[in-house]
Amino acid sequence: MEMLILLAFFSGGVLVILHGTLKKTKWGINFHPSKICPICGTPFPKFLRRPQNSAQALWGGNTCSNCEAHFDKWGHYIGGDDSHLYD
Ligand SMILES: [Zn+2]
């Protein structure tokens, strides 16, 4: 019985991650993260990602060292200095 509950629990988790990966939600896993800033093209740090806030530490993502824009792990712009959008 315990095995059945454990199995249900883990297969549910796998489904959530699978769905998140396909639909690009925060639960998904990005196997090909963006290597450069989508806005200015500045390369992100190769090996050591330094989270700038708790959301980045928890869910992944990057902050551009040049334009200071924030991105989620899928490379979607989620905030930061957006003055460049009004140039
Ligand atoms: Zn940038």
Compute the distance from residue 31 Cα to the ligand 1 centre, in Å.
21
The count of structural domains within the chain is: 2
Cα–Cα dist 30/20, whole Å: 10
pTM comes to 0.73
Cα–Cα dist 69/77, whole Å: 7
Same domain flag for 82 and 40: yes
Q: Which domain covers residue 45, as residue numbers?
A: 32-87
Compute the distance from residue 71 Cα to the ligand 1 centre, in Å.
10
Same domain flag for 78 and 53: yes
The 3-state DSSP class for residue 51 equals coil
Same domain flag for 49 and 59: yes
Compute the distance from residue 84 Cα to the ligand 1 centre, in Å.
10
Compute the distance from residue 37 Cα to the ligand 1 centre, in Å.
5
Same domain flag for 23 and 1: yes
Check: CB of residue 37 under 8 Å from CB of residue 44: yes
**One digit per residue, pLDDT tens: the chain, 87 residues?**
889 999 999 999 999 999 999 999 999 999 988 899 999 999 988 777 778 888 888 888 889 999 989 999 999 998 875 555 555
The 3-state DSSP class for residue 36 equals strand
Compute the distance from residue 26 Cα to the ligand 1 centre, in Å.
21
Q: What's the pLDDT score for residue 18? A: 95
Same domain flag for 13 and 51: no
Same domain flag for 38 and 69: yes
Cα–Cα dist 1/11, whole Å: 15
